[in-house]
Amino acid sequence: MNRKSFANATLAPWLLGATLLLFIVIAGALFLNLMRLRDSFSWVQHTNDVLLSISGIQQAVLEAETNERGYLLTGIDSYRETYSRKRDDLASRLDNLRSTAADNPEHAARIDELRQLIDMRTAQLGRVIELGPERLREALDILEQARTDRLTERVEASLAGLTQTEQGLLAERMSRHDQESLAAALITACLLILAVASAAIAAFLLEHQRAVSRQQEADQRLQALQAELMRVARLSTMGEMSSALAHELNQPLGAITNYVRGSRRLVDASNHPDKTRIGAALDKAAQQTLRAGEVIQRLREFVGRGETDKTIESLRAIAEDALALASVVTRDCPVDVELAIAPAVDRVLVDKVQLQQVFLNLIRNAFEAMREQPERRLTIDGSAAADGLIEVVVTDSGPGLDPQIADRMFQPFTTTKPEGMGIGLSISQTIIQAHGGSIKAEPAPGGGTLFRFTLPQAEFALSEVQTAAAV
Ligand code: ADP
């Protein structure tokens, strides 16, 4: 991670916090604004209702007068009835209008004044209706008086005044409502921008977190590799020391063998009464010295760098050497070993030390797996397979594979052992693949684990090398 992205990553949480805080504040502002918007809308609606109510009163006054005239001129009862309905309607409309203006004393006073005028006017009309066409002369007098009183004009003027006031209010309230709507739109836009910004910063932080975890994983892996390198370096030093030690021990062992043989000859030539028993003991001493020499020779070959080129080797001999090396581990819990490599498949073209390593890894793993088992049995079978290959099967009677790692046990650093490195199988796979074969593990039929690997037969591998050279 470079310095710039590190600085961004440190700044980002603060920025995210500030953005979220701003988001909350603006969301609060939007809430208040929406409440005000709702209020202003209800005021607009209220003013519209009042205007409708005023126009309804205007209409009712007009219809009451029309029906009064109709009755006076024709004497038809339906005019009279309609008049009565309109008069009642007028009263209820006035009540409604009055209740809507209850919180506005000035408005209420104007409505009361209007009510008085309308009451006076309906009283006049009521008297005219009472007189009817039968007493037309008296009725016309009342109407004449009404014209003089100008009641109708005063009612109309009062209604017009109220309408004008309400229209003024409506214009004012609609303008406020428009302003609130604009503010709500602006605040919503701000909120959207902040939401997008917060999402972008959160995504950046998440990605940064992922990058940090990836970096940590890479660091851990690097540390493990470094530790492994140090271990390999230590092993290599130990290998070199063992090689030197083996070389140093070879000399005295050779001398011991010669001395023992010389002693044997001296005893043979003497007349000692126990010369037969001493001779047998000296023979055994010579045999053991030779065996010690063989073990040391194998150790030298194993740890020494040796030839890396492939040579024709005996599969059985390599397996035996590996078993001898691994037997050091099984001294306290012996294992029943069966080595069954058919002579027909014994010759392989391999890097001897590397193949020893594969056998050693598999045998050591098997021995370790069987350590707690009551019955410890290891078999190594070698037989011919298709395509000029040899198949080697190493089977143990251990507890079987741990299902948690069964599908990745050939990956480096996979281990279930407290002290394990988890690289034995990985190295074995690399070696087998480098020899043109493959390796896999599976549960053994009678319990335990079975490792199966293939190698090219010497003749087959050689003929392939020759074909390649001819081409
Ligand atoms: P390690 O050094 O940990 O043994 P290996 O690569 O040799 O590393 O083996 C990896 C893991 O595979 C072991 O820790 C063990 O869990 C499992 N394993 C290997 N061989 C056997 C076996 N014969 N039986 C059961 N488990 C095995």
Report how far ligand 1's centroid is from the alpha carbon of 379 (Å).
17
Residues flanking ligand 1, CB < 6 Å = 361, 365-366, 369, 396, 398, 401-402, 405, 409, 414-417, 420-426, 449
With beta carbons less than 8 A apart as the criterion, state whether 335 and 370 touch: yes
- Please indicate, yes or no, whether residues 18 and 148 belong to a single structural domain of this protein: yes
How far apart CA 239 and CA 304 sit, in angstroms, is 7
- Please indicate, yes or no, whether residues 331 and 298 belong to a single structural domain of this protein: no
Cβ atoms within 10 Å of 50's Cβ, excluding its own: 22
With beta carbons less than 8 A apart as the criterion, state whether 277 and 295 touch: no
Q: Which two tokens mark 336?
A: 């029943």
With beta carbons less than 8 A apart as the criterion, state whether 383 and 391 touch: yes
Report how far ligand 1's centroid is from the alpha carbon of 224 (Å).
18
- Please indicate, yes or no, whether residues 22 and 128 belong to a single structural domain of this protein: yes
With beta carbons less than 8 A apart as the criterion, state whether 29 and 187 touch: yes
Mutate to test the pocket of ligand 1, among 373, 402, 409 (most ligand atoms within 8 A of CB): 409
Confirm whether 340 is domain-assigned. yes
- Please indicate, yes or no, whether residues 380 and 315 belong to a single structural domain of this protein: yes
Confirm whether 210 is domain-assigned. no
Mutate to test the pocket of ligand 1, among 359, 361, 365 (most ligand atoms within 8 A of CB): 365
User: Virtual CA dihedral for 263, 268, 269, 270, nearest 10 degrees?
Assistant: 90
Cβ atoms within 10 Å of 282's Cβ, excluding its own: 20
Structural domain count of the chain: 3
pLDDT for 457 equals 87
Task: Give the residue from 93, 109, 86 showing the smallest Cα distance to 51.
Answer: 93
Confirm whether 217 is domain-assigned. no
- Please indicate, yes or no, whether residues 247 and 355 belong to a single structural domain of this protein: no
Q: Which two tokens mark 36?
A: 């005000």
Nearest CA to ligand 1 atom 11: 415
How far apart CA 98 and CA 162 sit, in angstroms, is 12
How far apart CA 56 and CA 79 sit, in angstroms, is 19
How far apart CA 151 and CA 120 sit, in angstroms, is 8
- Please indicate, yes or no, whether residues 315 and 440 belong to a single structural domain of this protein: yes
Confirm whether 62 is domain-assigned. yes
Cβ atoms within 10 Å of 281's Cβ, excluding its own: 15
Q: Helix, strand or coil for residue 197?
A: helix
Which residue in this structure is represented by tokens 């050693």? 360
Task: Give the residue from 383, 23, 371, 57 showing the smallest Cα distance to 193.
Answer: 23
H or E element in which residue 75 lies = none
Longest pairwise C-alpha distance within the chain: 189
Give the domain extent around 271.
Answer: 227-304
Gyration radius of the chain's alpha carbons: 56
Confirm whether 289 is domain-assigned. yes
- Please indicate, yes or no, whether residues 151 and 167 belong to a single structural domain of this protein: yes
How far apart CA 395 and CA 445 sit, in angstroms, is 9
Out of 249, 271, 304, pick the residue that ends a domain.
304
- Please indicate, yes or no, whether residues 161 and 70 belong to a single structural domain of this protein: yes
How far apart CA 33 and CA 185 sit, in angstroms, is 10
pLDDT for 362 equals 96
- Please indicate, yes or no, whether residues 13 and 62 belong to a single structural domain of this protein: yes
Confirm whether 220 is domain-assigned. no
Nearest CA to ligand 1 atom 25: 401
The number of residues making up the chain comes to: 471
CATH number of domain containing 367: 3.30.565.10
- Please indicate, yes or no, whether residues 342 and 389 belong to a single structural domain of this protein: yes
How many CA atoms are closer than 13 Å to the CA of 329, on its beta-carbon side?
16
How many CA atoms are closer than 13 Å to the CA of 72, on its beta-carbon side?
22
Residue type for position 130: E
Out of 279, 304, 329, pick the residue that ends a domain.
304
Report how far ligand 1's centroid is from the alpha carbon of 375 (Å).
19
Report how far ligand 1's centroid is from the alpha carbon of 184 (Å).
68
Mutate to test the pocket of ligand 1, among 421, 425, 426, 451 (most ligand atoms within 8 A of CB): 425
With beta carbons less than 8 A apart as the criterion, state whether 408 and 429 touch: no
Which residue in this structure is represented by tokens 């990836």? 214
- Please indicate, yes or no, whether residues 278 and 333 belong to a single structural domain of this protein: no
Mutate to test the pocket of ligand 1, among 379, 396, 415 (most ligand atoms within 8 A of CB): 415
Residue type for position 52: L
pLDDT for 233 equals 52
DSSP result, 396-443: E-SS---TTTTTTTTSTT---STT--S-HHHHHHHHHHHTT--EEEEE
Confirm whether 211 is domain-assigned. no
Q: What are phi and psi of 104, to 5 degrees?
A: -120, 95
Nearest CA to ligand 1 atom 12: 409
Nearest CA to ligand 1 atom 16: 416
Out of 304, 322, 337, pick the residue that ends a domain.
304
Report how far ligand 1's centroid is from the alpha carbon of 226 (Å).
22
With beta carbons less than 8 A apart as the criterion, state whether 128 and 69 touch: no
Nearest CA to ligand 1 atom 23: 366
pLDDT tens for the chain, 471 residues: list them.
454 555 666 777 787 888 888 888 888 888 988 898 899 899 999 889 889 999 999 999 999 989 998 998 898 999 999 999 999 999 999 999 888 877 778 888 999 999 999 999 888 889 999 998 888 888 888 888 888 888 888 889 999 998 998 899 899 999 998 998 898 889 888 888 888 888 888 888 889 889 889 988 877 876 776 566 556 655 655 665 666 677 778 888 888 989 998 998 999 999 889 889 999 899 989 888 887 887 777 666 665 544 446 889 999 999 998 888 787 666 678 899 999 999 999 999 898 878 988 998 999 999 999 999 999 999 999 999 988 899 999 999 999 999 999 999 998 888 999 888 888 898 889 889 888 899 999 999 989 999 999 998 887 766 766 665 565
pLDDT for 299 equals 65
Nearest CA to ligand 1 atom 26: 401
- Please indicate, yes or no, whether residues 300 and 324 belong to a single structural domain of this protein: no
Report how far ligand 1's centroid is from the alpha carbon of 427 (Å).
12
Measured from the Cα of 398, ligand 1's closest atom is 24
Report how far ligand 1's centroid is from the alpha carbon of 415 (Å).
6
Confirm whether 213 is domain-assigned. no
